[in-house]
Amino acid sequence: MEQEVKDWEKYSRQIVLAMSKRMAELGMTQQMLAEKMNCTQQYISKVLKGQKNMSLETLCKIENTLGIEIFKRLDDIE
């Protein structure tokens, strides 16, 4: 179980780093991202602090809104 937590935290850190870097490149604030994703700034803050276990839907919204690929696309696996 402990390894599962570490794996989840590793992915969470990678997501946060990718989001933070892209937000900085775009000059985008948490509030701006929240508005584009139709959620609250508080939710984005928790995501960026690694305090949220995000759904696949949320991950897709992040990728689409920021124009980044966090994970390799499933199309590439086949």
The C-alpha R_g of the chain, in whole angstroms, comes to: 13
Cα 73 to chain centroid distance, Å, stands at: 15
Q: Which SS3 state, helix, strand or coil, does residue 24 take?
A: helix
Query: Burial level of 15, CB count in 10 A (0-12/13-18/19+)?
Result: buried
pTM value?
A: 0.81
Could you read off the pLDDT of 41-51 as tens digits, one per residue?
Answer: 999 999 999 88
Residue 2 has pLDDT above 80, yes or no: no
Residue 60 has pLDDT above 90, yes or no: yes
Distances (CA, A) of 68 to 4, 17, 53, 60: 26, 12, 19, 10
Which tokens belong to 67? 């124009």
